[in-house]
Amino acid sequence: MRAALRVFAAEGLKQHRRIFGSKLVVFSMLLWPVLTLATTYYTVLPVTEAPGAAERWPLVAQPGRLLAFLAAGALAYTFFFSLVQSAWHFSWERISGTLEAMFLTPASRMALVLANGSSALVQNAWLFGCFGLAAAVATGTLHLAHPGMLAVAALALLVPAVAWGAFLNSLLMFSRDSAFLYTLLDDPLWFIAGVRLPLFALPVWIKAIGLVFPLTTSLVVLRGALLDGKDVGDLAGHLTFLAVLSAVLLGATALLLRVGERHAQRTGSLQLF
Amino acid sequence: MATALPTLRRNWLVTMRAYQWTYFVGTLATGILTVGLAYLAFHAIGGGRAGGGFAAAAGTADYLGYVTVGAAASMFTVRMVLWVAKAQITEQREGTLESQVLAPARRLPYLVGVGLQALTTTVVEVVVMLAFAIMIGVRLPAPDPVTLLAAFVAASVAVFGISVPLSAIMISVGEAHITQNTLFVAMGLLCGFTFPPAYLPDPLRWLGEALPVTSALRALRAATLDHAPLSVAAPDLLLCLALGLAYLAVGLRLLGPAERIAIQRGGSA
């Protein structure tokens, strides 16, 4: 356990030195999400003004709540996307030759990928998180059942996100084309997870695929807890599903790391890029 | 031509040998998902109709057609900018910028070669996306062929024009990722790819007008959705061309000094 904590501390320091205050964070974690949010809002505005739209989706009657709905989507998406970005950075370890060095140390592999994902998440997403919360409070769209739900929402976002990040990092044991991962998980992720549309608007088969991605359920919990005043009882089903999904992702990570390391030992691929 | 055609050929070879699927899938996904989002929102929320304000602001009541043309133009813009603006920083990263400076080839034909190659690949991507749009039931009226051709040429000049100063910025600051994506998200908001710029506050609208892509989009939509004759689209076409050529002229002026900065700074980009 102490060894794992040291891995966390070291990764935390590394990510802090590498990411904190960097231009990429300010742009990719604040400016881009805010501009994209505005674009999304204006893009769906014409259909929300259509006659009868309020009967299909009551939210559209209040533009403030519609914006809050989309902003919650942008917030969760930014958190998850920051992990795609950090997995993309993890592939640089391969290029700079430190990935192989990491696997030569006796550090727990699981601790390595978890620490990498979670500390990148903290360094990346705090800015947009604070911004989102401040915006929600200032516009009065925050509607909590009780203050504790804030913690529930944060956990429902962070735990699956870290599991997701660990899973992505373990995938990179096999693939050297991290740009493809980046491409594949950028746009399709927001589409199938209901980031910019309510889930009822998606066809059943897309919803079914979306369930595999923890972002989908995290977002249901986040919107329920922060915007609709739901409590733990109302969200119990979703929270249980998220817990199971996170556990499955971590299990898959452990398996992939083991198989991946053996594969790398056989082929010597850790220093190839 | 002695520079443009070999550059075109070289870039085709690179595309065929490496990354072809990453680029293809990446561009296509963006276009298809944008149209997909509009389609689902239009049917599930709008009940197959767009609100009254849209027709007045957009000049057409055809929401899906509007977004489809915008998504196609967006794919075209992003792909062209990525190729042309990143051509020189890629040379720098691969260590060939110095050779390029030493060779007696001029920059404009080189960039035209890169642009022509991008044009040929992008046209394929846009056609696949439009086929998808038609498959899910988007109906585009028969366009006015002359206006469409003129708008396509004007849009190509516009996008090529803004790429050249961007290339100068990229090699002089030695950074591409932040520069390109900031331009893309800003254009997504300002130029009216997926919604009429009339929705925006005035200062932002004027900022959008300063980019030739905005007028190119109006001309493209006039040709495809309104069947407008050339005379109707002429003001937008001329504005787009003038702005595009102005960006191009400024960019070509900046390239020389930018190359000096890049080479003095040395290999890291």
String of DSSP letters for A200-252: GGS-HHHHHHHHHSHHHHHHHHHHHHHHS---HHHHHHHHHHHHHHHHHHHHH
- Which residues of chain B does A196 touch, with a Cβ-Cβ cutoff of 8 Å? 37
Among A32, A45, A197, select the one facing B40 at the smallest CB separation. A197
**Which parts of chain A fold into alpha helices (H)?**
2-19, 23-26, 32-48, 53-56, 63-96, 98-104, 109-139, 148-171, 178-192, 204-212, 214-227, 232-267
> How many CB atoms are closer than 10 A to CB A23?
10
Identify the pLDDT of residue A238.
Answer: 94
In terms of Cα–Cα distance, which of A39, A57, A38, A33 is closest to A47?
A57
Identify the pLDDT of residue B20.
Answer: 66
In terms of Cα–Cα distance, which of A61, A67, A65 is closest to A38?
A67
More confident residue, B181 or B23: B181
* Contact status of A205 with chain B (Cβ, < 8 Å): no
Mean of the pLDDT values across residues B229-237? 92
Asked if pLDDT for residue A95 goes beyond 80, the answer is no
Output the average pLDDT for chain B: 89
In terms of Cα–Cα distance, which of B219, B67, B251 is closest to B154?
B219
More confident residue, B241 or B143: B241
pLDDT tens for B84-142 read: 999 889 888 888 888 888 888 888 999 999 999 999 888 889 999 999 999 998 888 88
pLDDT band at B257 (very low <50, low <70, confident <90, very high): very high
- Report how far Cα B85 is from the mean position of its chain's Cα atoms: 11
Output the average pLDDT for chain A: 85
* Contact status of B22 with chain A (Cβ, < 8 Å): yes
- Which residues of chain B does A198 touch, with a Cβ-Cβ cutoff of 8 Å? 44-45
Asked whether the beta carbons of residue A177 and residue B22 sit closer than 8 angstroms, the reply is: yes
Identify the pLDDT of residue A190.
Answer: 86
In terms of Cα–Cα distance, which of A28, A129, A131 is closest to A85?
A28
pLDDT band at B223 (very low <50, low <70, confident <90, very high): very high
* Contact status of B201 with chain A (Cβ, < 8 Å): no
Asked whether the beta carbons of residue A50 and residue B44 sit closer than 8 angstroms, the reply is: no
Identify the pLDDT of residue A255.
Answer: 94
The answer to whether A43 touches B195, Cβ cutoff 8 Å, is yes
Q: Domain extents for chain A?
A: 2-271
* Contact status of A43 with chain B (Cβ, < 8 Å): yes
- A164: three-class secondary structure by DSSP: helix
Q: Which of A17-21, A210-214, B177-181 has the lowest mean pLDDT?
A: A17-21
Mean of the pLDDT values across residues B68-96? 90
The C-alpha atoms of residue B100 and residue B105 are separated, in whole angstroms, by 8
Angle B93-B94-B96 (CA atoms, 0-180°, nearest 5)?
105
A18, exposed or middle or buried, with CB in 10 Å at 0-12, 13-18, 19+? middle
Å between A25 CA and nearest CA of chain B: 10
DSSP state of A107: S
* Contact status of B185 with chain A (Cβ, < 8 Å): yes
Asked if pLDDT for residue B268 goes beyond 70, the answer is no
Does ipTM exceed 0.95?
no
The C-alpha atoms of residue A78 and residue A90 are separated, in whole angstroms, by 18
Locate the chain A residue with the closest alpha carbon to B62.
A46
Å between B34 CA and nearest CA of chain A: 9
Identify the pLDDT of residue A177.
Answer: 65
The two tokens of residue A218 are 């995290």
Asked if pLDDT for residue A49 goes beyond 90, the answer is no
* Contact status of B200 with chain A (Cβ, < 8 Å): yes
Which of A75-89, A159-173, A226-240 is most confident? A226-240
* Contact status of A47 with chain B (Cβ, < 8 Å): yes
The C-alpha atoms of residue A73 and residue A194 are separated, in whole angstroms, by 8
pLDDT tens for A253-273 read: 999 999 988 888 888 777 666
The two tokens of residue B151 are 């708008």
Identify the pLDDT of residue A56.
Answer: 86
Asked if pLDDT for residue B77 goes beyond 90, the answer is yes
Locate the chain B residue with the closest alpha carbon to A27.
B178
DSSP state of A273: -
Identify the pLDDT of residue B40.
Answer: 92
The answer to whether B36 touches B68, Cβ cutoff 8 Å, is no
Identify the pLDDT of residue A156.
Answer: 92
The answer to whether A121 touches A83, Cβ cutoff 8 Å, is yes
The C-alpha atoms of residue A175 and residue A180 are separated, in whole angstroms, by 9
The C-alpha atoms of residue B8 and residue B52 are separated, in whole angstroms, by 47
Mean of the pLDDT values across residues A118-126? 81
Mean of the pLDDT values across residues A208-231? 91
The answer to whether A69 touches B41, Cβ cutoff 8 Å, is no
Q: Which of A5-9, A83-87, B69-73, B242-246 has the lowest mean pLDDT?
A: A83-87
More confident residue, A22 or B11: B11
String of DSSP letters for B97-137: HHHHHHSS--HHHHHHHHHHHHHHHHHHHHHHHHHHHHHTT
Asked if pLDDT for residue A249 goes beyond 90, the answer is yes
Asked whether the beta carbons of residue B26 and residue A183 sit closer than 8 angstroms, the reply is: yes
pLDDT tens for A9-47 read: 888 888 888 777 777 777 877 888 889 999 999 998 888
The C-alpha atoms of residue B262 and residue B269 are separated, in whole angstroms, by 8
Q: Give Cβ neighbours of residue B131 (< 8 Å, ≥ 6 apart).
A: none
Q: Which of A117-126, B117-126, B220-229 has the lowest mean pLDDT?
A: A117-126
Strand runs labelled E in chain B: none
Identify the pLDDT of residue A229.
Answer: 87
Q: Give Cβ neighbours of residue B73 (< 8 Å, ≥ 6 apart).
A: B155, B193, B213, B216, B217, B220
